[in-house]
Amino acid sequence: MALEHAILVSLLEQPGSGYELARRFERSIGRFWTATHQQIYRVLRRMEDEGWVTAEEVGQGGRPDKRSHSVTGAGRDVLTEWLREPVQPEAVRHELAVKVRGAAFADAAGRTALVAEVERYQKTHEATLDRYLAGELRDFPQSEALDDGQRLQHVVLRGGIAYARMVLAWLDDVLDTLRGLGRD
């Protein structure tokens, strides 16, 4: 029940079409809330039916028309109300941790394969961290004064960076542990 709210925040930051929202979810918003375009279109339609957003057909010479969405007063009210509600405990789903514990029941070949897989996974997180850091330099230069919205976006990005760094350090720990199994 919160994709709606993520969409409201994103559309308040900047109105846009379902397609544009989907791309934002791949990049910025997707760091802390993932969604596919199918899901976004469906929810967006429902939000329109409920009057939380309005859509406007926008012709764009050359490319297909798009339906640009903006948040209504009612939509803002929904968001305000939601912001007052207690934060729900996170529903964690960390597949790799299950696999690591599962490695206790794998043979030597299986463990070797898992080491390789953790190394691959680590590389994707390194790339993610690099992307975040590049984005931070680009969007939040120290020299300029930031407005409230930018400061909030920045602190969320810092969370993403801290998370990526923590994961990388933990993956080193996992690799050391996997490689040290069966000794003494």
Partner DNA sequence: TCTTGCTATGCAACTAGTTGCATAGCATGA
Partner DNA sequence: TCATGCTATGCAACTAGTTGCATAGCAAGA
Interaction with DNA in 11-50: which residues (CB under 7 A)? Answer: 17-20, 22-23, 34-39, 41-42, 44-45
Q: Which amino acid type is present at position 82?
A: W
Instruction: Answer yes or no whether residue 30 interacts with a second copy by CB under 8 A.
Output: yes
Q: Would you mind telling me the total number of residues written for the chain in this entry?
A: 184
Give me the 50-89 binding string for DNA, x by CB under 7 A, dash otherwise: ----------x-xxxxxx----------------------
CA 73 to chain centre: 26
Q: Can you tell me the distance from the alpha carbon of 133 to that of 128, in angstroms, rounded to the nearest whole number?
A: 9
Contact set for a second copy, span 130-149 (CB under 8 A): 145, 148-149
Ramachandran quadrant class, 40 (left: phi over 0; alpha: psi -120 to 50; beta: rest): alpha
Contact assessment for residue 179 and residue 115, using Cβ atoms and an 8 Å cutoff: yes
Quick one: which segment of 16-24, 27-35, 57-65, 129-137 binds a second copy (CB under 8 A)?
27-35
| Cα gap 176→80, rounded to integer Å | 47
Binding of DNA at residue 1 (CB under 7 A)? yes
Look up residue 143 and give its DSSP letter: T
Q: Is 91 in the site for a second copy (CB under 8 A)?
A: yes
**Does 5 contact DNA by CB under 7 A?**
no
Please give the size of the binding site for DNA, defined by CB under 7 A: 28
In the complex, what is the shortest distance from the CB of residue 10 to a second copy, in angstroms, rounded to a whole number? 8
